[in-house]
Structure 1
Amino acid sequence: MKKIIYVLILPLIVVSGLVFSFASFTNRSDANREIKNETSKKSIPNPLSAAERKTALKKWEATPDGIMYKKWEASPAGKKVYAGEAKIRKAVRNYTNMNGVVTSLSLPPGSRLGFGMMVRINGDDYILSFGPEKSDKSFLNFNNEFQQLHKLKVNDKIIIKSHAVSHAPKYSYPIVSGDYIELDGKIVYKRAPRKGGC
């Protein structure tokens, strides 16, 4: 008789366990869906209006960093960097060739721009920055995207194309993003397009 009761109760326990699991799974997925909907609504910040951007900039300019930056902009060093940027802005905007000469294979001391070198373009000195140096090391493979750039020498005449030129008060030179480098008619470096970008 006990065996028959166990045989009848066991399937009821299994079925009720499955029903309970399914119910809690459904409630959990509904809760997850609600949380995802809430976070997706919250995570899309509204772009600032022009007035809000102007107000935020004014607030920042009143901070110690902002005051220091404004002083740097007005200084001879800041004006020189801005003038260097202006000289190549059209070529950068149009992504056209710029003739450059390698003047140093290292960046200024204390630089935190990753791999780069100093170049002279149209009589002005620039930091040519390529970003952090990554390598894919394995037992049979050593791949470094900057491998060919390491072969450049001082006084090499190169063709540079860039999508961006920037500045920072820490540096006495404009910073050119190295997107394409050519030496003696051969491509030495071409930045890979960003994954997932447009």
Structure 2
Amino acid sequence: MKKGILMLILASGSLLANPENKTALKTWRDSPDGIQFTKWEASPAGKKVHAGAVKINRAIRGNASLVGVVTSLTLPEGSSLGFGIMVNIQGDDYILTFGGEVDQEFDALRDLQVNDQINIKSHHVSKAPKYAFAILSPTYVTQGAKLLYKRVQAKGGC
């Protein structure tokens, strides 16, 4: 399995119900990448990111809308997450990532300014040692009554 898929398994406990996924996770945890990830999770930086993810995970699982304030219109330097912005939700900073760009798909998001308040519904929160913030994958983003972004479901996918 690829590292990215296993990161998804780590971030989503529901995928661990399948015994094959549990075996894959154990195999990955014993690999050099898994050992490094486990060490990062136990570090102060990893604990901070994990606490931020846990803080909003209940709202995400309950399909609640999160209120965020835009703190940066760019992602941290060296990011490989595609287009995204930084937001503060309930006192913690998060990466809000939208993936690769497609023409004018993100034009409404580009009009945002620092300190703008937005409403976010997310379908997933994850974490990675490369980033000092939990990573949110939004389902949709609104500002007031204006829809800024709506995730398009992949055809034939989940």
Q: What are the ranges of 5 or more consecutive residues in structure 2 without an aligned counterpart? A: 1-16
Choose the corresponding residue for 1:157, options 113, 117, 122: 117
Of residues 96, 102, 106, the one that matches 1:128 is: 96
Deviation at 1:49, TM superposition (A): 6.3
SS in 1 for 2:71: strand
Distance 1:190-1:86 versus aligned 2 partners, 3 A rule: same
Structure 1 segments unaligned to the other structure (5+ residues): 1-47, 136-143
Classify 1:49/1:132 alpha carbon distance in 2 versus 1 (closer, same or farther; 3 Å): closer
- Measured after TM superposition, the shift of residue 60 of structure 1 is 2.6
CA contact (8 A) 1:102 1:117 kept: yes
Answer yes or no: is 1:108 the counterpart of 2:76. Answer: yes
TM-score with structure 1 setting the length = 0.67
Which runs of structure 1 show a deviation greater than 6 angstroms over 4 or more consecutive aligned residues? Answer: none
Larger strand fraction of residues: 2
CA distance in 1, matches of 2:108, 2:114: 14
Corresponding position of 1:185: 145
Flag the structure with larger Rg. Answer: 1
Offset of residue 55 of structure 1: 4.5
C-alpha RMSD over aligned residues:
1.8
Which residue in 1 is equivalent to 2:6?
none
Q: Which fold has the larger relative contact order, with Cα–Cα distance below 8 Å and residues 6 or more apart in sequence?
A: 2
Corresponding position of 1:93: 61
Residue correspondences, number: 142
Give 1 or 2: higher helix fraction. Answer: 1
Q: Percent identity?
A: 58
- Cα distance in 2 for residues equivalent to 1:68 and 1:94: 31
Cα 1:191–1:57 shift into 2, 3 Å: closer
Q: Name the counterpart of 1:170.
A: 130
